[in-house]
Amino acid sequence: MPSTKAAIFGAKDLPRTILSDFIEERLFRRLNQEREERAKFMGMNIDEVSSQMQIFTRILCFYVPCCA
């Protein structure tokens, strides 16, 4: 019987697409911008502000209807 740990997959285990890469990049840029704003607001160096997130984005279904 296979272990339940082996059957659990996350987004990072799925194939990447151009769209998922684009969304991931935009998300990381925005999170870094928000981190810089927090550091500035708190009067801290950006290295002192927490950024312990790992985010993986994958597109599971993308459908574009055909135009007639």
pTM of the shown model:
0.58
pLDDT given at position 42? 87
How far CA 62 is from CA of 17, 25, 35, in Å, comes to: 11, 18, 31
Place of tokens 């950006």: 46
pLDDT given at position 26? 92
- For residues 35 and 47, the answer to whether their CB atoms sit within 8 Å is no
Low-confidence ranges of the chain (pLDDT < 70): 1-7, 52-54, 60-64, 68
State the alpha helices, DSSP H only, in 1-68.
18-42
